[in-house]
A and B are shown apart, each in its own frame.
Chain A
Amino acid sequence: MANPLLSPSLLRTLEQFQLLASRRARSSARGERRSRARGQSVEFADYRNYVHGDDFRYLDWNLYGRLERLFLKLYEEERELPVRIFLDASESMTFGEPVKFDFARQVAAAIGYVGLCGFDRVSVIPFPALPPNGQTDPAAWILQSAARGALRAVRGRKSAMQFFQNLAALTAGGPADLNETLRRGALEARHTGLAVVLSDFLDPAGYEAGLTALVGRGFQVDVVQILAPEELTPTTYGDLQLVDSENGAVQEVTFGRFRLKAYQQTVQNFIQRLKEYCQPRGINFFTAASNTSLEDLLLRQLRKAEVWA
């Protein structure tokens, strides 16, 4: 089955990357990441005195020959890196040409694929949560629920295709609560790791509390803000009555070409404030329009920022 999100050539390129995490992996599952835990690997870590019951295979016989004392060689335990991708699937992500949500899924697929190739555990958390069954088409609801369930924890490269399909099956809709989603995601995680937030960040409640919760929990956070070209440069002028897609709020505005620069300045201020919030907290921040070249974002910007190498 063909991958609906990423091209084969891009996949081949991504296979060569590995996610970089500045923090040691704290997962309990074994993987290929260095961790502070001691275990079985080829990387020597330390010595300790032998105690009864230790495995003889790790005794350092050379030391015993010289000192006639038993020391046990300790090795670093290689564990997996949990990669949690918070994917904004709210109604606002359905706008744009190309649609912002499609672009976000492609980025999620790329990051997830790099994680899977590196034997990391990838979780995709779309938000908002599905409404209770019965409010929508049951078949679609079941399909969505299954896809979301399958994306909760994916590991191994062989799961990549299924991962892509589940991502492609996701749909967007409803109002999102970014802060609540991130805060809950931070609390629910048993092990910290890499957190990637893919959203337009157009939440009236803000984003500060959610991002702070992730950082405070110990996540390495990467933020990718995705905006539609129309949001950056509106093309509709005149006396407008704007209706918010998520909460139905109405805003009357008279907009013309003469105010375009002022609007663009407002957008840049908004982006700049998000960036300035991220930088002191060690959060990698990226912004992209949905019509941006995916390769440029993945292969140049994220690589340059050492999200992966």
Chain B
Amino acid sequence: MNFLAPAALVFAVTIPVVIVFYLLKRKRVVKLVSSTLLWQKFLAETQASSPFQKLRRNWLLLLQILLLALATFALARPYFAAKIKPAHLRVVILDASASMQSTDVSPSRFESARAEALKWVDSLAGRDQMVILQAGAYTEVKQSATSEKAALRRALQSCAASDGPTRLVPALRMAESLVRDQPGAEIHLFTDGAVPELREFENKALPLVFHRIGVRANNVGITALDARANPEDARQRAVYVNVANFSSNQVETELELRLDGRLLETRPLRIGAMEISPQVFITTQPRDGIFNLRLAARDDLACDNEASLVSLLPRPVKVLLVSKGNRLLERALRAAPLVQLSVAQSLTDPAAGFDFVVLDGVVPAVWPRGNLLAFRVPNTNWFESLSQIQAPAIVDWKSTHPLLRYVGFDNVQVVESLTAKTPSWASSLVDSPQAPLILAGELGRQRIAWVGFDPLDSNWPLRISFPIFIANAVEWLNPANVQGGQLLIKAGEAFRLPLLHPETSAQVVLPDGKVREVPLDATANEFVFGETHRQGAYRLRIGTNELVFCVNLLDAAESDNRPRDELRLGQFERVTATTLQRANLEVWRSILALGLFILLTEWWYYHRRTV
């Protein structure tokens, strides 16, 4: 047997109180009277003459009737639906992200949010309409605007939390479009507040009602994972892990590393409150495999305690340098690990046998299909127009891009450079006041890094940043790394795989063992699989190939499951968690308190009247 409100059992203390009332002995006044005959007759007439008597106006009777009425009323569990502001349209957004799986409220935050939303459905009056949106990694309309409570309940019951991050922006954007020009419409967001930036909705006067779900933060999670060759010994693999503690106490736990299910290492961890513990595992990897990391912590959120990674062994990178002669560039390329460099002065074929091509001021007769690193190469297919500038000063560079990792452009002077307006497929990595000097991006499925100037027209090759840039470029442009990156996706994101040959069907085995058959269009040149709600290893069979890709949460914002009291919309706007507008506000506690008061009043009145 369970109790909806076990705290109400505390009212059992009223039972001994009543017993004490009855235990109190009534002190009678002894009085000598002439005869008790009349009193005996009086008692006989009033008490035993008839099983019923005429109903008299008696305050005690009225109080007891009132008490019983209140008790009955309370047992009926009344609630005030009218306390909510009348709204003709309510858009309910249910956060279905991973953090909503936290179990700090029983059974989980998501179930709690669903129960709360169901109360709002119950309180829907008349022709008021409601829309149900599920906001997970992507927004799903579970129910369009309707007054049908059964349909709304069904829609809510069909919602399920995923292991993915929160993407509230599309949900709010959709909700905004629904409530636009609808006076009195409201957006009810049921979330724990672990949401990304909502700057887009600042100053939009969004009629947002934030229902905060969750009571505490007690979570340790894996927030980052990567596997690379050990920089000190290329034969070994280094697995980088970030374990973050988002609880307010220090946590002691263990981190296990497995390769294809085989336990490699168990490492005890002690992480302070709100701290991140970076861990590096150095291990040998005889073949391609799946690294699996598992935290033994018992916390409120389980889905971030495990992460998997497909680790492919590094293969030699075949690079073709097309140049009229640039020893500095050639040496930099040869210095990069695992590079098998070929040098040519011109290019007349698509260079299909190379992993990527470096064009050093040479315009090829046939543009290669693979990835490209181009120095001072004009290509009208890439840019609308090209111009030349003299002595551009480098004023900014994007150090967060993989190409510019550990690369600085201090004291780098350029004599002249080609420059172009940043096209849509690329982003600017190095900027001069006039125009970008280095661009990088993906055009189709081809990765292109474009440098507008000849390194020999600058002092950049004399700086340490140049060979680092080349090494970064080799890593970024290596198709094997690109593919390896594609094998690690976040929950909720679509898995994409380019198809070299037409296929008719594919089969995906989910982490829980379920099999999904995916029909493919014969003309499709890409396989897309979107059902990646759960973290774990997914096995794909397509044609004769079989590969594994891993789905993880790896989202620090999501693992930080502290319930927020307010949502920030931009820098200044705040939406505070609502406490007043509760649907189905039950009032039986107040009624019970009133009944108890009446009981005491009755007792007091009875004794006052008879004394």
Binding site for B on A (CB under 8 A): 91-96, 100, 200, 202-204, 228, 231, 236-246, 249-259, 262-263, 265-267, 269-270
A242 near B31 with CB under 8 A, answer yes
Contact in complex: A96, B28 (CB < 8 Å):
no
Q: Please name 9 further chain A to chain B contacts, defined as beta carbons within 8 Å, in addition to the given A240-B29, A262-B42, A263-B38, sorted by A numbering.
A: A202-B34, A228-B34, A239-B29, A240-B30, A244-B36, A257-B609, A259-B46, A269-B41, A270-B38
A251 in contact with B29 given A200-B35, A258-B58 (CB within 8 Å):
no
Tell me the nearest residue of chain B to A250, going by C-beta.
B36
Most buried by B among A91, A244, A249, A265: A244
Are the C-beta atoms of B35 and A241 separated by less than 8 Å?
Answer: no
Task: Give every chain B residue within 8 A of A203 (Cβ-Cβ).
Answer: 37
CB of A237 within 8 A of CB of B610, answer yes
- Tell me the nearest residue of chain A to B58, going by C-beta: A258
Contact B29 A236 (CB under 8 A): yes
* B31 with A246: CB separation less than 8 A: no
- Tell me whether A231 and B34 are in contact in the complex, defined as CB-CB below 8 angstroms, given that A252-B28, A258-B58, A258-B609 are known contacts: yes
| Chain A residues positioned under 8 Å from B46 (CB to CB) | 259, 262, 266
What chain B residues lie within 8 Å of A92 (beta carbons)?
34-35
**Contacts between the two chains (Cβ within 8 Å), count:** 98
**Residue B12 is within 8 A (CB to CB) of chain A in the complex:** no
Find the residue from B35, B37, B43, B609 having the highest chain A CB count within 10 A: B35
Does any Cβ of A come within 8 Å of B40's Cβ?
yes
Residue of B nearest to A204 (CB): B37
> Are A253 and B43 interface neighbours, CB within 8 A?
yes
Cβ of A241: which chain B residues have Cβ within 8 Å of it?
A: 28-31
Determine the chain B residues whose CB is within 8 A of the CB of A257 once the complex forms.
Answer: 609
Alpha-carbon distance A262/B134, docked complex (angstroms): 72
Chain A residues lying within 8 Å of B41, measured Cβ to Cβ, are 266, 269-270
B56 CB contacts on chain A under 8 angstroms: 258
Residue among B42, B45, B58 with the highest chain A CB neighbour number at 10 A: B42
**A245, B33: Cβ atoms under 8 Å?**
yes
- With A239-B27, A252-B28 known as contacts, the answer to whether A244 contacts B42 (CB < 8 A) is no
Structural contact, B32 and A245, CB atoms closer than 8 A: yes
Contact B29 A238 (CB under 8 A): yes
Q: CB < 8 Å: which of B26, B31, B34, B45 contacts A200?
A: B34
Residue of A nearest to B37 (CB): A202
Contacts of A242 in B (CB 8 A): 31-33, 36, 39
- Expressed in whole angstroms, the minimum distance between the Cβ of A90 and any Cβ of chain B is 9
A to B CB contacts below 8 Å, 19 in the list: A92-B34, A202-B37, A202-B38, A204-B37, A228-B34, A231-B38, A239-B26, A240-B30, A241-B30, A243-B31, A243-B32, A243-B33, A244-B36, A258-B56, A262-B46, A265-B45, A266-B45, A269-B45, A270-B38
Contact among B29, B35, B43, B58 with A202 in the assembled complex (CB-CB below 8 Å) = B35
B4 interface residue (CB < 8 Å to A): no
List, in ascending order, chain B residues with CB within 8 A of A254's CB.
26, 610
| A256–B609 CB distance below 8 A | yes
Chain A residues in 8 Å Cβ range of B42: 253, 262-263, 266
Bound state CA distance, A245 and B27, in angstroms? 21
Q: Find out whether the CB atom of A238 lies under 8 angstroms from the CB atom of B610.
A: yes
Q: How far is the CA of A259 from the CA of B46 in the complex (A)?
A: 9
Among the interface residues B29, B38, B43, which one has the most CB atoms of the partner chain A within 10 A? B38
Residues of the A chain whose Cβ atoms lie less than 8 Å from the Cβ of B34: 91-96, 100, 200, 202, 228, 231, 245-246
Residues on B with C-beta less than 8 A from A202 are 34-35, 37-38
Cβ of A276 to closest chain B Cβ, rounded Å? 15
| A238 CA to B36 CA, complexed, in Å | 16
A contact face: mostly helix, strand, loop, or mixed: mixed
List chain A residues, Cβ under 8 A from B30: 240-241, 243
CB neighbours of A258 from chain B (8 A) = 56, 58, 609
CA distance A263 to B42 in the complex (A): 6
Q: How far is the CA of A257 from the CA of B59 in the complex (A)?
A: 13
Contact with A along B55-70 (1 / 0, CB 8 A): 0101000000000000
The distance in angstroms between the C-alpha atoms of A249 and B37, with both chains bound, is 10
Q: Are B31 and A240 in contact (CB under 8 A)?
A: yes
B32 closest partner in A (C-beta): A243
Interface residues of B in 379-436 (CB under 8 A from A): none
Shortest beta-carbon distance from B128 to chain A in Å? 52
Specify which chain B residues have a CB less than 8 angstroms from the CB of A91 in the assembled complex.
Answer: 34
| B29 surroundings in chain A (CB, below 8 A) | 236, 238-241
Distance in angstroms from A163 CB to nearest chain B CB is: 27
Bound CA–CA A267/B32 (angstroms): 18
CB of B611 closer than 8 Å to a CB of A: yes
Interface hub of B32, B37, B41 (most chain A Cβ within 10 A): B37
Instruction: Name the distance in Å between A74's Cβ and chain B's nearest Cβ.
Output: 53
Specify the chain B residue showing the minimal Cβ separation from A262: B46
**Cβ proximity bits B7-51 to A, threshold 8 Å, 1 near / 0 not:** 000000000000000000011111111111111111101100000
Q: Output the least CB separation between B199 and chain A (Å).
A: 73
A239:B28 contact, CB within 8 angstroms: yes
Whether the pair B32, A239 counts as a contact (CB closer than 8 A) is: no
- Note all chain A residues with C-beta closer than 8 A to B37: 202-204, 244
CA of A203 to CA of B40 in the docked complex: distance in angstroms? Answer: 12
Contacts of A231 in B (CB 8 A): 34, 38
Separation in Å of the A199 CB from the closest CB of chain B?
11
Kindly name the residue among A203, A252, A254, A266 whose own CB sees the greatest number of chain B CB atoms within 10 A.
Answer: A266
Contact digits for B137-178, partner A, Cβ 8 Å, 1 yes 0 no: 000000000000000000000000000000000000000000
The complex places the Cα of A225 from the Cα of B542 at a distance, in Å, of 119
Which residues of chain B are within 8 angstroms of A266 by Cβ–Cβ distance?
Answer: 38, 41-42, 45-46
CA gap between A240 and B38 in the complex, in Å: 14
Taken together as a complex, chains A and B put the C-alpha atoms of A6 and B33 apart, in Å, by 28
The smallest beta-carbon distance between B61 and chain A, in angstroms, is: 11
Roughly how many angstroms separate A259 CA and B43 CA in the complex, as a whole number? 10
Cβ of B609: which chain A residues have Cβ within 8 Å of it? Answer: 256-258
Q: Chain A CB within 10 Å — which of B27, B29, B58 has the most?
A: B29
Query: Whole-angstrom distance between the alpha carbons of A245 and B32 in the complex?
Result: 6
Residue numbers in A under 8 Å from B58 (CB-CB): 258
Residues of B within 8 A of A253 (CB): 39, 42-43
Q: How far is the CB of B48 from chain A (nearest CB, A)?
A: 13
**A237 to B58 Cα, complex, angstroms:** 17
Q: Are A95 and B33 in contact (CB under 8 A)?
A: yes
- Chain A residues whose C-beta falls within 8 Å of the C-beta of B45 in the assembled complex: 262, 265-266, 269
- Complex Cα gap A237–B610 (Å): 7
Expressed in whole angstroms, the minimum distance between the Cβ of A208 and any Cβ of chain B is 14
**Interface contact A251-B610, CB-CB below 8 Å:** no
Closest CB-CB distance, A243 to chain B, in whole Å?
5
Which residue from chain A places its CB closest to the CB of B56 in the assembled complex?
A258
Closest to A254 in B: B610
Task: Please provide the 7 A-B residue pairs with the shortest distance between their CB atoms, ordered closest to farther.
Answer: A202-B35, A92-B34, A95-B34, A266-B42, A241-B28, A251-B36, A239-B28
**From B27, B28, B41, B58, residue with most partner A Cβ within 10 Å:** B28
Of the residues A256, A262, A270, contact of B610 by C-beta under 8 Å: A256
| B42, chain A: closest CB distance, angstroms | 4
Which residues on A sit within 8 Å (CB–CB) of B28? 238-241, 252
Q: Is the CB of B39 within 8 A of A251?
A: yes
Contacts of B35 in A (CB 8 A): 92, 200, 202, 204, 244-246
> A233: shortest Cβ distance to chain B, in Å?
12
Q: Which residues of A contact B26 (CB under 8 A)?
A: 239, 254
A11 to chain B, nearest CB (A): 30
**A91 to B, closest residue via Cβ:** B34
Smallest Cβ-Cβ distance to B40: which chain A residue: A251
Q: With A237-B610, A239-B27, A251-B43 in contact, is A267–B38 under 8 Å at CB?
A: yes
B residues near A245, Cβ cutoff 8 Å: 32-35
Q: Bound complex: CA of A277 vs CA of B46, how far in Å?
A: 23
In the complex, A245 Cα to B38 Cα: how many Å?
13
With contacts A245-B33, A259-B46 taken as known, whether A239 is within 8 angstroms of B39 at the C-beta atoms is no
Residues of A within 8 A of B610 (CB): 237-239, 254-256
Q: Chain B residues with Cβ under 8 A from A236's Cβ?
A: 29, 31
Give the distance to chain A from B423, nearest Cβ to Cβ, in Å. 98
